[in-house]
Chains A and B, each alone.
Chain A
């Protein structure tokens, strides 16, 4: 077994004339969180689709959990789970039924027990018997991620997991992602939010016009710019601090209502 959970070499993909990926290389270490950062249309989703066997690359190779995505697709599918850009949940089924469905399709024993356990972990127990169409955006996304964890796949792909979520739901998702990595799961997430990459990722790669233009830890990326200047500024609470304090945000570091110290 290699130490790299994901290895990508010279990946290329075009849609007709449009060259979306123009030779992408990166590696993701086991148990780490890797963020693929880029603006809309940079090719993030295309890269994730190739890695999760939904698309074929035009050129280059990609290995996930040691298996080649082109020639060992079935093995790759057993090693991964994909949480797409839009919550891939069944609206008509209840939350619990969604989880049971995925557990059955992964051919696991005791799908009911697995579902109840995940409902608890993602604070969805009370909503478990309700149709997903009644869920809020944050609950939907949590269920979506819970569905991805069934069967404990060693590699998880999260394609823009917090796009369209309110700040509170975002923190909940971040917490879920951190817990995943703490338990040894490799996470590849794509995002267009810089702070999300900053908060979560062990390594960050910036995908721009179909190529990775930088790849490193946050500290390494910071060194690319001139050393920090020391400036004294009045620390105002950010709007996010205010919002989370007022609505009594739970989870993350917003657990207690904080009153920002005046300076």
Chain B
């Protein structure tokens, strides 16, 4: 590893964080869509959805948090794409700078931006009556799962960011990711779904992640869900990292 890796990554991280603070609209836009969904589902559909004794906002929040991340990483791809197009990427690559720092700076920026959006969404949920009996360890566990999920999705976002031919292409990949929570236990319990759909819903990553976060929020035992959630996140992270790094190496050599 280049001896300047950490220093260079820090400098480049400072650069993209400055981008975020100067275009705060990207973070707000990221948070607006999940907040709108939260309002829509809690106040419009929520009354008709039977989640037993659990208030619907408590039931819904974990899924909304995942949607927040899924829409947030579209901007990661967008920022990376803009760097690739503008020529500044080539400038960095032609300088005696640690080569993977450019990518890591974007990944860490994505993490920071998504954490801010997540905090905003949680605050709105609290205003809407979300309450949790979770203690500090459970909140830390939730934060840990969400950070791992963000990293996994961010490394997925790096791939279109590096390879896209147009701005639309760079962010279009996030639509299926935003849609995936609808086919899970995020909005409604899976019991009412028809056979094949239910089978899919119960075995896709979002359901186990949502169930694990929900259990942590309500102080229930997390059971096998947390291991399935961690395995999914770690698995996606490793595979996406491998493909993204491979793409990156091909781009810079």
A-side residues, CB < 8 A to B, are 52-54, 56, 74, 77-78, 80-82, 84-93, 97, 101-102, 104-107, 131, 147
A interface, over-half SS: loop
* Contact partners of A84 in chain B: CB under 8 A: 87, 90-91
Given contacts A56-B253, A97-B18, A105-B11, contact A91 B86 (CB under 8 A): yes
* Contact partners of B4 in chain A: CB under 8 A: 107
* Contact partners of A104 in chain B: CB under 8 A: 11
Per the CB 8 Å criterion, the residue count for chain B at the interface is 23
B15, B93, B96: the one contacting A54 at CB < 8 Å is B93
**How many residue pairs between the two chains, A and B, have CB atoms under 8 Å in the bound complex?**
65
* Contact partners of B8 in chain A: CB under 8 A: 105
**Are A102 and B87 in touch, CB under 8 angstroms?**
no
Interface residues of B in 65-95 (CB under 8 A from A): 86-88, 90-95
Bound CA span A80–B8, Å: 18
Interface residues of B in 232-253 (CB under 8 A from A): 252-253
* Contact partners of B96 in chain A: CB under 8 A: 74, 77-78, 106-107
B interface, over-half SS: helix
**Are A54 and B90 in touch, CB under 8 angstroms?**
yes
Q: Mark B2-29, 1 if CB is under 8 A from A, else 0.
A: 0010011001100100110011000000
Q: Mark B86-110, 1 if CB is under 8 A from A, else 0.
A: 1110111111110000000000000
Bound CA span A107–B10, Å: 12
**Are B94 and A81 in touch, CB under 8 angstroms?**
yes
Given contacts A74-B96, A77-B94, A147-B91, contact A92 B86 (CB under 8 A): no
**Are A81 and B15 in touch, CB under 8 angstroms?**
no
**Which 9 pairs, one residue from A and one from B, show the smallest C-beta to C-beta distance?**
A88-B87, A88-B91, A82-B94, A78-B96, A84-B87, A52-B94, A104-B11, A77-B96, A88-B88
- Shortest Cβ distance from B105 into chain A, in angstroms? 11
